[in-house]
Amino acid sequence: MSSHLSEQELQRRQKLIELKTLGIDPYPPEEFKINVTALDIKNNYDRDKLNYKDISIAGRIMSVRDMGKASFAVIQDASGRIQIYVRKDDICPDEDKSLYDVVWKKLIDIGDIIGLKGYVFTTKTGEISVHVTSLKLLSKSLKPLPIVKTDESGKSFDEVSDPEFRFRQRYVDLIINPQVRDIFVKRTQIINSIRQTLNNAGLLEVETPILQSIPGGAAARPFMTHHNALNIPLYLRIANELYLKRLIVGGFEGVYEFAKDFRNEGMDRTHNPEFTVLEFYIAYKDYIWMMGFTERLLEKVATDLYGTTEVKLGDKTIDFKAPFKRVTMYEAIKEHTGLDISGMNEEQLREACRKLSIHVEPSMGKGKLIDEIFGGKCEGSYIQPTFITDYPVEMSPLTKKHRSVEGLVERFELMVNGKELANAYTELNDPIDQRERFEEQLKLQQRGDDEAMFIDHDFLRALEYGMPPTSGIGIGIDRLTMMLTDNVNIQEVLLFPQMRPEASASEEGPHS
């Protein structure tokens, strides 16, 4: 056996051998039929005891309390935990008592998965439990579950409260920390609520390419790969916007996609290189209509999840009750810095950044400079849902110019708890204007801005066929889940967040 195994792991492998020697398959192939869950028993037994006289349930052993000829244990299934009562004379009715004395007491461990049959009863202390009449080992656990430990100072700690351990071994985190499962149940409920609203509004759910020849639709650094058969470079998408707008050109009047996007940028508490975004586009609408639809959508999601629009987030209460506050970007910057930047050119903006102690790079154009000012001095102030509207044209290469204010575009970002949650436009559908905007982005690339957009000539060709007036939006599903589950770290709402590779993983090899 491998030398890296712990003493407990070696003991469990020895038990595996002994089980096989007794003719017990530790990983049986046949179906184990289940007719009840732990939660069902706990919720309904007191009301309807007759339905629980012959139950079949399976789960992982989480604890065992040995009492000689009987034992109490706790098993956990997907719905929760329940106590079981195992007595030698019940599971070993014949003369051979080895199933209890050898298998149950010596060869089965905490962490093993068992199937059992029996009936439900209430103990003298009032705990609803399952009296086991037969049991079967369904899967032998070769690694012990983490337990509370004590450090050199005598202070107790739990290994699975360590984020490094929890995020890297999420499967163990889910076993030990039931509240973590609830986050991901809620994440699915959030997505289902949104999907229901969009379907009811007549939108069509679609899928667009993840591998793209041009990474368009956002200003971000892409991941790059290579397609061997075609011998061409390809990019993981940074956004699905341009493909969804192609579908609007093609005649669909409302489309949406829950998209996996990828950006080759930094990682922190609110950024992961792989993330989920909902984008949807609706023909014949504008950004004003989209603000109203968005606040109603999020109001419904919060209500579906909790029965109220108020959500706890740390020491704050966020209220998703519509309507949300609306503030223009220039108003926000003036309020929080005292500066009116509406008429400033690039050099004046650089000077403003210096006065505000905001670091800038030579590659940054006017749009990036304004974005740095807003992000550094304003964004964190908007705790309650707030639409920041009417952005400078330089910040928004895919957005229609403002109908009444020169130099601005019809765009909003939704800020919640000091972070951007959504980004929306009245979409630019003028192909000549769009080409000029792309060319301006190309100039920024030449200055060294590796987040500037590429020119997508096929998208321009699509616009030349004619795209109806359209409004579109992107909503960060990971961030929305964070806000609706009281989490400030994006890794808490991703089942498998990106982590540095473990050094030991490559050293041990795949079959150690």
Residue matched to tokens 């000029």:
436
pLDDT in tens, the chain (512 residues): 456 899 999 999 999 999 999 999 999 999 999 999 999 999 999 999 999 999 999 999 999 999 988 999 999 999 999 999 999 988 876 656 678 888 999 999 999 999 999 999 999 999 999 999 999 999 999 999 987 555 566 555 566 788 889 999 999 999 999 899 999 999 999 999 999 999 999 999 999 999 999 888 887 889 999 999 999 999 999 999 999 999 999 999 999 999 999 999 888 888 999 999 999 999 999 999 999 999 999 999 999 999 999 999 999 999 999 999 999 999 999 999 999 999 899 999 999 999 999 999 888 888 889 999 999 999 999 999 999 999 988 888 899 999 999 989 999 999 999 999 999 999 999 999 999 988 888 887 777 777 677 889 999 999 999 999 999 999 999 999 999 999 999 999 999 999 988 876 444 444 43
Asked if 139 contacts 26 with a C-beta cutoff of 8 angstroms, the reply is: yes
Cα–Cα distance measured from residue 488 to residue 177, given in angstroms and rounded to the nearest whole number: 18
Residue matched to tokens 């964190």:
380
**Going by C-beta distance under 8 Å and a sequence separation of 6 or more, which residues neighbour residue 282?**
201, 203, 253, 254, 290, 293, 470, 471, 472
Cα–Cα distance measured from residue 39 to residue 182, given in angstroms and rounded to the nearest whole number: 14
Token couple for 446: 């030449």
> pLDDT at position 510, please?
43
Name the pTM for this structure: 0.89
Cα–Cα distance measured from residue 382 to residue 316, given in angstroms and rounded to the nearest whole number: 12
**Going by C-beta distance under 8 Å and a sequence separation of 6 or more, which residues neighbour residue 167?**
173, 491, 497, 499
Asked if 19 contacts 103 with a C-beta cutoff of 8 angstroms, the reply is: yes
Alpha-carbon Rg for the chain, nearest whole angstrom, is 29
- Orientation of helix 329-337 relative to helix 366-377, angle to 10°: 50
Strand partners, 311: 318
